Amino acid sequence: MPSLLSNRLAKRVLRPAFTLVEQRLERATTALQSDLDALHHEVADLRRQSYGLGLLLDHAGRDGHRMPTATQLDTLVREVTTVTGASDAHARSELTVAYRTVVALEALAIGSMPGSTSDVCGKLAAVPLLAPPNGDVLEIGTGTGLFASGLLRMLHRAGIEPRLTAVDPLTAGDPLTGPVGEDVVRANLALCGGRSGPEARIAAARDAVSDRRYGVVVIAGDPSVEAVLADLEWSAELAADGAAVVVDGHADDTRPGVNEALCKHLATGSRLRLLGQVAGTAFLRAA
């Protein structure tokens, strides 16, 4: 049987239908090409924007990138509310401000804040929410002083005028910036604004800073079991009633001595009570 399309009469009858189909296909193709062109321009714009954003937030010059996901932030909100008792909205707001603080300070500072974005932001947000009983802050192991600068800013924002005492021999150096001297620490502390940075006490000897009781204690020094045990015992002595004690590296697999020391210390009946964990950091309250 000959093909219907080879029949002249059939071709004449079907020509209007063929023409209509061709027109519709042409319109659809034109619209699709327009969409593809628009998508191409959008992708090109996004690539240009992401390149600039990457220069600001990628891992260059620090431990890791500063680009958290929505899932990571949601997890942090749950952990911070559990430890501090703050509402979800309040915790999310403080974490957002903490993240902006980290990005701003690292863009200007010498060195970077050690730790993941979740860990750093979790500490900065949780400490003010724990409502320290006074503004005296003891940081054991200050490094470049940049984390302390961020913490002072967050405490200022919470209506607390902080007074920093940092204990660090300043001999280890920073893997990214090299040796760290007091000038580097003070340059970074100056970024916190106000008089808290310039008036900070930086000491190598512990006896020089045992003249007060601290509302916040941050333990971020030598991660060996013996050193962390000594830091915890010293913190228990110097912490004011109701003080917030922060133990950095509690859940860090590369620093197993921190968790071991904390477990041993808590088993002795310490006045420090474990509140919980945010990212890789343990939070305690002094009774």
Which sign, positive or negative, has the C-alpha torsion 32, 35, 41, 42? negative
- Could you read off the pLDDT of 255-267 as tens digits, one per residue? 999 999 999 999 9
Q: Indicate the SS3 state at residue 284.
A: strand
Residue 173 clears pLDDT 90, i.e. is over it: no
- 31 pLDDT more than 50: yes
Indicate if the pLDDT at residue 14 is higher than 80.
Answer: no
Q: For residue 27, what pLDDT is reported? A: 78
- Judge if pTM exceeds 0.85: no
Answer whether residue 2 shows pLDDT above 60: no
**Confidence (pLDDT) at 22:** 77
Tell me the C-alpha to C-alpha distance, in Å, between residue 217 and each of 24, 153, 274, 279.
72, 16, 14, 18
Average pLDDT over residues 186-206: 89
How far is 120 from 127, CA to CA, in rounded Å? 11
Q: Is 279 left (phi over 0), alpha (psi -120 to 50) or beta?
A: left
Q: What is the pLDDT of residue 1?
A: 45
